[in-house]
Amino acid sequence: MFNPHDHRNKRQQFFMQNIEALANILAFITAFLATPEVWARSVGWVVTYTSQRYGPEFEGPVSLGWFVTVALLIFFGARATLATAILAAGLTLAVRVV
């Protein structure tokens, strides 16, 4: 039997999956471009802080760990922001069209 609600749910899932995929791609691009800049501007402070508090032997691992942390913060922050913005824009467009 044909259930129109199942078709509507599949369309909504497809729409949400596309929004999620677009947000992931744009967040990856944002992280790729922004991570080196943010890391370069903040790693000096983080390494100095670590060296003073924990010793200079931790500088290398902390520098690498800070790079990964910055990349993840930028990626997930951009993903959440972009997914929300894309969803809001899509819903606004849908309301105006319908």
Is pLDDT above 70 for 34? Answer: yes
Q: Band of the pLDDT at 4, cuts 50, 70, 90?
A: low
Cβ contacts of 19 within 8 Å, gap of 6 or more: 83, 86, 87, 90
Confidence at residue 52, expressed as pLDDT on a 0 to 100 scale: 96
Q: Which of 37, 38, 62, 40 is nearest to 51 (CA)?
A: 62
Judged by average pLDDT, the poorest of 7-11, 58-62, 87-91 is 7-11
Compute, in degrees rounded to 10, the torsion defined by CA atoms 35, 43, 63, 27: -10
Tell me phi and psi for residue 3, to 5 degrees: -115, 115
Residue with token string 């497809």: 14
Residue with token string 């690498």: 64
Is pLDDT above 60 for 1? Answer: no
pTM as predicted:
0.80
